[in-house]
Amino acid sequence: MNFLSLYILILVLMMMGLFLSKSRKQIQIIMITGASFLLLLSGALTYLYLTERAAGNTAEMLFRADSVWYAPFNIHYSVGVDGISVAMLMLSSIIVFTGVLVSWKIDPMPKEFFLWFCLLAIGVFGFFISIDLFTMFMYYEVALIPMYLLIGVWGTGKKEYSAMKLTLMLMGGSALLLVGILGIYFTTGGSTMNILELSKLKVPLEMQRYFFPLTFMGFGVLGALFPFHTWSPDGHSSAPTAVSMLHAGVLMKLGGYGCFRVAMFLMPEAAHEMAWIFLILTGISVVYGAFGAIHQTDLKYINAYSSVSHCGLVLFALLMMNQTATTGAILQMVSHGLITALFFALIGMIYGRTHTRDIRLMGGLMKVIPFLGVSYVIAGMASLGLPGLSGFVAEMTVFVGSFQYADTFHRILTIGACASIVITTVYILRVVGKVIFGPMQDKHHETLTDAVMYERIPVIVLTAAIFGIGMFPGWISSMIGDSVLPLISQFIR
Amino acid sequence: MDYSSFLQMHEEFSLLGVMIILLLYDIFASEKYLKYFQPIAIVLFLVHIVLNCVPRETFQVSGGMYEYLPIHSYIKTFLNIGTLIVFLQAHKFLNEDANRIKRGEFYFLTLSTLLGMYFMISAGNFLVFYLGLETASVPMAALVAFDKYNNKAAEAGAKYILLAVFASSISLFGISLIYGSTGTLYFNDLPALITGTPLQILAFVFFAVGLFFKISLVPFHLWAADVYEGAQTNITSYLSVISKGSAVFVLFTLLVKVFASLITEWQPILWILAVLSITIANLFAIRQKNLKRFLAFSSISQAGYILLAIISGSAIGMSSLVYYVLVYIFSNLAAFGVISVIEERTGKINIQDYDGLYQTNPNLSFVMMLSLFSLAGIPPFAGFFSKFFVFSAAASQGFYVLVFIALLNTIISLYYYLLIIKAMFLNKSDHPIEPIKSDFFARVSFAVCTLAIIAIGFISPIYDQIHLISFGM
């Protein structure tokens, strides 16, 4: 049994346990135990990974395991991690853990909710540990489908529309992706599905020109690449809290991770040729998402558009194709995952109390629910890039990396993207000023109660992680930076 | 002539044996023993399956009229399993007072069509093939009109027999042209003689129409929705799964074996048919209110996906096709099983009636959901794997555009499959279908299907076995 396969095993065991569970109490116990194990596992993995690297192990992927699954198609069950995956696994397990606590009192049908939730988590964890194209794609799709039911049954607002839109658009993305994957596999001679081995073979350049955009767009849909981002605001705002957290926090990162690990890594020549098209598109994502957020009045919509902007920045930085920017992109994935999860968790808790998410109907919440208020301000500050919090570290690295190009095209785009920070400040401060501070809008809100224990834990965990990365970014950015180097050497000319 | 070689046709003889035993039992057994008719039929059939599931060496009977290949054992076993599941699901329907008297016929007719398919699959000569085709079609028409006092069933039966005969007569015309231009009907002799003259291409096109009709590809699909709707649900499921499964297999073997030299002709034809079938059937399926019509269009589009395996014309295509048929049998039969159970008890057949089904019938909804996800090709269910292999088969021959179109269509198909899932899980209803307790046999069939849908994808030896043997083609 491979160490990494434990992620899947734990989740499968959790699902079995849920299947047999009878009461809410049992369900809660199963979920919290399982989620804690996942968190511990990620902690142990990070530790082991760092000690292994410190001991001088320079293999591209550590903790490898490989067994043949479908021999005729060279499909292997093949797992392994590098620094990037370790960071993403850590992020995922933090968010799964907090997501479980946030949906502690989910109603109705807690059992079904957590079953789907676990399936979603299997998709996420499986994706990050896989280094086989087929299993990667499989896990990617496993993560998509539970979304439909999670949003459709437990969501709010126009949930059926959002659920359908999200599922179909992401499925569309995976359709593009599958063509790309089959293309990569067969144009390299159909001899292996392993990403590491594929990177040594060459996809012919004229074929790369077809399959690179397909693969990049396929993953890009999930990474909210303009103009395929439209599922994201509707989906995130309709989803139940924990699902918004997991989706904006982790699932959107699958897109960025896949763009990097599959599309750009395996087809570097076409990536160079076509980067400018996608740079423009992601540049639009960054700026457009920020402007979109200014216009919204629903807290979740504001956050969803802000996610479009910040995830756009991830793809933007990846396409800059140098070590600093790419490291920044991965850091931004982690940082945005934590911040956005915190945002959605807080919005869920506020909504649970005020029963509205319209910022025009709320105000002065700091007086009645100070814990949530302070946390919201912290999340806001992190999101607009206050030094000392994770957002600053990530965005700073991204922009430093992007600025390394001296030509006009890259300069203009970089300056445009930098300007989005200003817009971010506008919408964040507007919400904070209006909802958290500002005068009381509704006298019913005067009697609200502050967060209880099971709500405080996830908020504290997420805040601590945001502070942790913000204060001590060294270890994580060097862990990521070291792993980025062998990947990036594919396309540094 | 050496008649002992006939005895090698194990599958056909053992099926014939089952048929005759059941027929005699139905006629001569007293009322007291007739109670056990269905269990006995099912057990006998199960024995038949077990006896014939192991592949043997290749052999020929009567100078190549009949040719057995190891892969035939697999495809026949898969069809057998499908038929067994249909029998399990039909148990309740055949136990009703109105139908009890006819159940002997039900089994006999079903097994006759199956026998026809056996001959179609193992034919080594166009004459045997045509006999098999007709044996599979004519009893099928009787089955479709099984409930003869029901106007819709009678109409469906008439429609089916007229169109089937029309299609097979065109096919026969094609066969006569083949004979006219080559002077032989043996599959083994034909490849050398088919050189691609215009007459032979014409003959091929005429001939293929008969099979396209059976597979119900667009534009030969117009009968499907009406017949599926009119026939009794268990018969519809048999028609949509078993009949289709055998026809696609036969189409593939004939294209690769007999018409291999016409590959530049039939690949574009299949390309167009695949795109048309998938797209048009998907678009029509969205608009359907009646679940049986809905599944009719869905199965037309599934047939379109199977064409992607056929078009590759390679060993990988063969194994993907057989695997696809296997998965399709379980997925589709699970869906039809749920529909038939609900229709049987409540008479409700529209998508709207399924609103809120999960609240009252969680298990049935669960089975339905699994089967729909499998049909839509969602992992970790078996349908994902079979779709992936079919797409790989087409991509391996460079049909990327076709794969792309087919994949875009999976989005449309996911949309309409989700409509049913939405009805069951999301929608609320004032009058949901009351809790249903399905009978033992149906529950066994659901258990088998559910297990298969979940497990088949992960058990790679199943595919490996099929793959191993399909290289012998």
| Whether the predicted model's global pTM rises above the 0.90 cut | yes
Q: Is the confidence at residue B472, as pLDDT, over 60? A: no
Mean pLDDT score of chain B, rounded to an integer?
A: 89
Chain B residues within an 8 Å CB radius of A183: 395, 400
Grade residue B16 by pLDDT with cuts at 50, 70 and 90. very high
Looking at residue B1, what is its pLDDT? Answer: 57
* pLDDT tens digits along B400-436: 999 999 999 999 999 999 989 888 888 888 888 888 8
| Contacting A residues, span 86-145, partner chain B, CB-CB under 8 Å | 134, 138-139, 141-142, 145
**B265 Cβ neighbours under 8 A, 6+ residues apart:** B196, B201, B204
* pLDDT tens digits along A179-192: 999 999 988 887 88
| Cα(B157)–Cα(B143) distance, integer angstroms | 8
Looking at residue A402, what is its pLDDT? Answer: 86
CA distance B380 to chain A (A): 6
Looking at residue B391, what is its pLDDT? Answer: 92
Residue in A153, A160, A178 closest to B391 by CB: A178
Grade residue B276 by pLDDT with cuts at 50, 70 and 90. very high
Mean pLDDT of A276-305: 89
Centre a 10 Å sphere on the Cβ of residue B27 and count the other Cβ atoms it contains.
Answer: 8
Q: Is A56 exposed, middle or buried (0-12, 13-18, 19+ CB in 10 A)?
A: exposed
| Cα(A110)–Cα(B279) distance, integer angstroms | 39
Residue in B380, B411, B460 closest to A142 by CB: B380
Looking at residue A127, what is its pLDDT? Answer: 92
Q: Is the confidence at residue A80, as pLDDT, over 80? A: yes
Domain range list for chain B: 3-470
Looking at residue A492, what is its pLDDT? Answer: 62
Looking at residue A1, what is its pLDDT? Answer: 60
* pLDDT tens digits along B67-83: 888 888 989 999 999 99
Q: Is the confidence at residue B451, as pLDDT, over 90? A: yes
Cβ contact A160–B418 (<8 Å): no
Expressed in percent and rounded to 5, the helix, strand and coil fractions of chain A are 80, 5, 20
* pLDDT tens digits along A351-395: 888 888 888 888 778 888 888 888 989 999 888 888 888 888 888
Cβ contact A69–B408 (<8 Å): no
Most A CBs within 10 Å: which of B357, B365, B366, B426, as the mutation test of the A interface? B426
Let me know: does A117 contact A242? Beta carbons within 8 Å: yes
Q: Is the confidence at residue B471, as pLDDT, over 80? A: no
Cβ contact A70–B408 (<8 Å): no
| Contacting A residues, span 398-427, partner chain B, CB-CB under 8 Å | none
DSSP 8-state symbol, A82: -
* pLDDT tens digits along B202-233: 999 999 988 898 888 888 888 888 899 889 89
Helix (H, G, I), strand (E, B) or coil at B139: helix
* pLDDT tens digits along B3-12: 777 788 888 8
Looking at residue B257, what is its pLDDT? Answer: 86
Residue in A153, A179, A210 closest to B407 by CB: A179
Mean pLDDT of A454-466: 89
β-bridge partners, B290: B350
Q: Please check whether residue A493 lies inside any domain of the structure.
A: no
Could you give the number of structural domains in chain A? 1
Whether A185 and chain B come into contact, CB under 8 Å, resolves to: yes
* pLDDT tens digits along A237-275: 888 888 888 888 888 888 889 988 888 888 888 888 888
Looking at residue B473, what is its pLDDT? Answer: 56
Looking at residue B469, what is its pLDDT? Answer: 82
Most B CBs within 10 Å: which of A9, A69, A70, as the mutation test of the B interface? A70
Question: Which of residues A485 and A121 earns the better pLDDT score?
Answer: A121
Instruction: Check whether the bond before A387 is cis (ω within 30° of 0).
Output: no
Percent of chain A residues past pLDDT 90, beyond the cut:
10
Mean pLDDT of B23-39: 86
Closest CA to B441 of B340, B362, B366: B340
For residue B70 the two structure tokens come to: 């190891």
Whether A371 and chain B come into contact, CB under 8 Å, resolves to: no
Cβ contact B410–A72 (<8 Å): no
Cβ contact A152–B316 (<8 Å): no
Grade residue A493 by pLDDT with cuts at 50, 70 and 90. low
Grade residue B2 by pLDDT with cuts at 50, 70 and 90. low
Mean pLDDT score of chain A, rounded to an integer?
A: 87
Cβ contact B392–A171 (<8 Å): no
Looking at residue A401, what is its pLDDT? Answer: 87
Helix (H, G, I), strand (E, B) or coil at B68: strand
Looking at residue B368, what is its pLDDT? Answer: 92
Question: Chain B interface residues facing chain A, Cβ-Cβ under 8 Å?
Answer: 316, 319, 373, 378-380, 384, 388-389, 391-392, 395-396, 398, 400, 403-404, 407-408, 410-411, 414-415, 418, 421-422, 425-426, 460, 463-464, 467
Residue in A149, A175, A182 closest to B408 by CB: A175
Closest CA to A163 of B363, B427, B20: B427
Q: Is the confidence at residue B65, as pLDDT, over 70? A: yes
DSSP 8-state symbol, A446: G
Q: Is the confidence at residue A434, as pLDDT, over 90? A: no
Chain B residues within an 8 Å CB radius of A176: 407
Mean pLDDT of A48-63: 83
DSSP 8-state symbol, A460: H
